[in-house]
Chains A and B, each alone.
Chain A
Amino acid sequence: MARVVILGGGVSGHTAATFAAKWLGSAHEVVVVTPNSKWNWIPSNIWVGVGEMSKEEVTFDLAPVYAKAGITYKQAKAVSLNPEGSESSDKPFVTVEFTQEGREGESEDIEYDYVVNATGPKLNFGATPGLDAGHTVSVCTADHAVHASSEFKKSIERMKSGERQKFLIGTGHGMCTCQGAAFEYIFNIEHELTKAGVRDLADIKWISNESFLGDFGMGGLHMKVGGYTVSSKIFTESLFTERDVSWIIGAHVSKVEAGRIEYELLDGSTGEEEFDFSMLIPPFAGVGLKAYAKDGSDITSTVFAPNGFMKVDANYGAGSYENWKASDWPATYQNPTYDNMFACGIAFAPPHGISKPMSSPNGTPINPTPPRTGMPSGIIGKAVAHSICDKILKGENAPLREASMADMGAACVASAGKGIFDGTAAAMTVYPVVPDFEKYPGTGRDTDYTFGEVGLAGHWIKHILHHMFIYKAKLKPGWTLIPE
């Protein structure tokens, strides 16, 4: 009997675990190690953050779902990997520390035949001085979003009593990703303020590390509209103007204090901005897993990139932007040193960014890091599970499944306000996620399959996706028919 250990129960890890359990059946064991007791449909956190959904609507308990699927569930966090085993055993193992109530602090070594690192990111609030001090809010977790909602409501109350409020939403560091979540949040804020009848008392400002509006960490995208091929910059600036939201771009937030931030821009100039309410996304880092060789020596730098994400079959030596190629991106997500080790979702180390790297004259890097969330994250998790199941069921020489972000597209729906008749969202597809300038000279993408539009239909789709993906994650009848 083989044992597959999956570290992380987010979109990618949950997808990998549930498909592995389905394909392997009861003859083999699938173990999920995740510090959380609940699964969270993160894209809907923005609605929790404005009070339009409750935490309960975007989360559910993992234990009964894993019990139903025959998955061994350990509510714990992975601490280290020993891919060569120990001096007393050749069997590789992962050391975990329990977070489950009543077992806090207990640790266990779990032996594995295959391990999948799907730990997601560490929310690195500490990278920006003051970002972890509670002056700003976040929507990265359901609990963060609940807190954001309560602070937002306080702002609305102040406005109802005639007080003017300044909202500052965006990224809290020069190397952030997830601009899309901040984009959704700022327009949901604007929508809710309009609904509350206090929009005229609000100054809303965007701040991000993008070099142009609409970069979204993937170098922007081009769409065919009215016979033209148009940059996402035009559409994003249009939406910001229409909703009267001003912006600061190319910004590295260098310090956060109560009601005030300091930032540095790509041209080297510095500035400061005051706020009454601010949601700033933190940068991501690896969760800090360590790796040890058989003799106990530290091999973390062999297994993980300096940012803490796991090395996979990517080309990490591509060098400058001019040398980047679509083929730099990983396809199998197998660790190059240990072939029974894989990484998926945010946990794999990308070869480089998608957006062009930039820095200020002072040397401060200011550019979005590449997104690895949502649909690509699910597809990669499923491909990794497929590869491992093939190896277990068909033999070690079974070919690995491939799911390169340079060969896959993504559908993305970015909410711009919730409401069954007055809601809107930007519905977008992009193909491929990572631009391939050799295959698609100019824009890097196939503009027959890259499009976007704002409207109520997009909101309906986002709302349906919310229910559909929670249904799928709960493994209800027909769950495998719903695509990632």
Chain B
Amino acid sequence: MKKEESNIKAYEQNYTTMVPGAFAKKMRTCVIWQFFRFIVLNIKMLIVVSKSH
């Protein structure tokens, strides 16, 4: 059994959604990858902030 899929219960409210796999979850707290995402997210946010002022 894949641990990340174990919370899905057949024909209950969460049966039709998606769940992240082990790799996606690992990347969420991978410091190197997240440092890169930190830069990307900041740029994206600054663009939206600049469009809003």
- Listed in ascending order, the chain A residues whose CB lies under 8 Å from chain B are 234, 237-238, 240-242, 244, 246-247, 375, 379, 407-411, 421-422, 424, 427, 429-431, 449, 451, 453-458, 460-461, 483-484
Contacts and interface: CB of A to CB of B under 8 A. Distances in A.
Nearest to A460: B38
Most chain A CB within 10 A, of B7, B41, B51, is at B41
Given A411-B48, A429-B45, A242 B19 contact: yes
Contact of B49 (A238, A244, A411): A411
Chain A contact surface mostly: mixed
B52 A410 contact: yes
Chain B interface size, under 10 / 10 to 19 / 20 to 34 / 35 or more: 20 to 34
Given A461-B38, A483-B49, A456 B17 contact: no
B41 A427 contact: yes
Interface string B32-53: 0011011001101101110111
A410 B48 contact: yes
A238 B17 contact: yes
25 contacts: A238-B18, A238-B19, A238-B20, A242-B7, A242-B19, A242-B20, A244-B7, A375-B49, A407-B52, A408-B51, A409-B49, A410-B48, A411-B45, A422-B29, A429-B48, A431-B51, A449-B44, A449-B51, A453-B41, A455-B28, A456-B30, A456-B31, A457-B34, A457-B41, A461-B45
A234 B8 CA distance: 14
Contact of B37 (A242, A410, A422, A455): A455
Contacts, number: 88
Contact of B53 (A234, A429, A484): A484
Most chain B CB within 10 A, of A421, A430, A483, is at A483
B35 A457 contact: yes
Contacts of A241: 7-8, 14, 17, 19
A411 B7 CA distance: 31
Contacts of A240: 14, 17
A421 B42 contact: no
Contacts of B42: 461
Contact of B28 (A375, A456, A484): A456
B44 to A, nearest CB: 6
Contacts of A484: 53
